[in-house]
Structure 1
Amino acid sequence: MTDTVRILKDIVAGLPQTDGVMSAHLNPVEQVLCVDNVVNPTSLQAHLALLRWLDGLEIPDKMLDTIYLVKAELRYLHWLNYLNQRKPTQQEMIVPPIDVACIWHAHLLSPYRYYEDLLRLYPTSEHMLDYVFPLEKLHKVIASGYQIDLPSEITWLEYTGNEPYVLALNDITTRLVAFSCPWCSKQSEIQWETWARVKTQKGLSFRCQHCTAKCNADTLSGRRFLDDVALYRRDRTRFLAYIHLFLRI
């Protein structure tokens, strides 16, 4: 009888014991596929409540909604940098802003890409792969009537340099977004609406304030790729996006 069939039969019959000791193949430490602590009524209720909260974030104005998501993506990078630099334990981790949690949740839906992105962005930070999405902490916020966790807000403001904890409409319509020109490498600022359109609509472009060169999604991603190549040439422990997992599969 194969180990797989034996394990399935043991699960159906209950947890077998030999002289009071659980069978080795059902040891919780080795039972990799056990999801009892992840999928249960409590976690499902928390997840459904979170999805309802995330659904409520959608803005009727499609352009504002796009800007909101593009801005949230950038704030998510601040969050990852916070985890990388501060190295909080899972218990010490602050409650992420809900827009950040939305992007993190979406990122985790593609485990291979999540794994690859973290290794590419933080090649020497093994702890980055240990963090678990804080579903329980977010559910506590929901249960409290969506009251902001004050210590989390203070830590976020202190780390990001007063980046708002709650992403409001006035923050995505009045502020400018800073970027590095892919041609002259100088820092420039443009309106969030322009930035969001360029990132989400094919063929749109804008001109750098300094060198007047045309910038679009292709030139921006091309610059990022060349930067990755330069980093790899200096440090062969790094790798390029979409390559690491392909070589391992």
Structure 2
Amino acid sequence: MEDFIKLIHNDKSIIETRLNKVYADNNEFEKMCAYSFSVGGKRIRAILLLEAFKICRDISDIAIDFSVALELIHNYSLVHDDLPEMDDDKFRRGVLSVYGKYGQSNAVLVGDELLNNANLIMFKAIKQLENIDEIKNAISASEIILNSSGINGMIYGQFLDLENNVENLSDIEKINSLKTGELFKAAILAGAKLGGASDNDLAHLEIYAKNLGLVFQLQDDLFDYDEDVELNKKTFATVLGKSEVEKKIEELNKISLQEINKISGRKEFFVNFIDYMAKRTY
């Protein structure tokens, strides 16, 4: 596990080195944009994309570019989530959010810019390709990311969350599958497609990715259990109970391990990632 942790840190360093070059601080607005992703973050989704690419191929610039693009999309969603009409949070990760530091209007613009730039980064990366199969794979990968972050995924999940019409477990599952799970799925499937994974491998990876997104949310619900009970908030943990959620996590991890062992490419990272996630404490 020690070598695995080193790999995680190395991937994170690669991504953050490229992230830090996205905005050059030439003006106040660029500083605001850079601030949005400079105040912490685990970069899990970006790392998953990078490692999914490495299932079939060694790391390359386009994999890093797509990882950075996905990280920008994730961060734009956080910037907008903090706005007064959304979650109304002036703090994120223990420091001022973009909204808290720069105000509501600027936070809207920063989020818009991060999303716009994510698309631009992917398109520029695709333009550098010459091999027709690699071009097709890259276009498909960008489509996966944009589909999962839009009305068929994350954005619709946020809409349903704001509607606050949660009545049963099915509602909770739908919202979290869209709002949280879709970007995890996008990270793994886009990275694998970009790297040229087979349809068979993609099918097994999709099950793995869906389970991973659900496990991530189930863990978050366990971490927030006491607070959610006080707020009378319906989550997996408050509806099912902590012991049932823990049992569900074990079941999902078992299925994920079975699925990842069916792929033909390099699978060691994703086998170890199940254990890594099981030990997550925040």
Shorter-chain TM-score tier: 0.3 to 0.5
Instruction: State TM-score, norm by structure 1.
Output: 0.32
Instruction: State TM-score, norm by structure 2.
Output: 0.30
Q: Pick the structure with more helix per residue.
A: 2
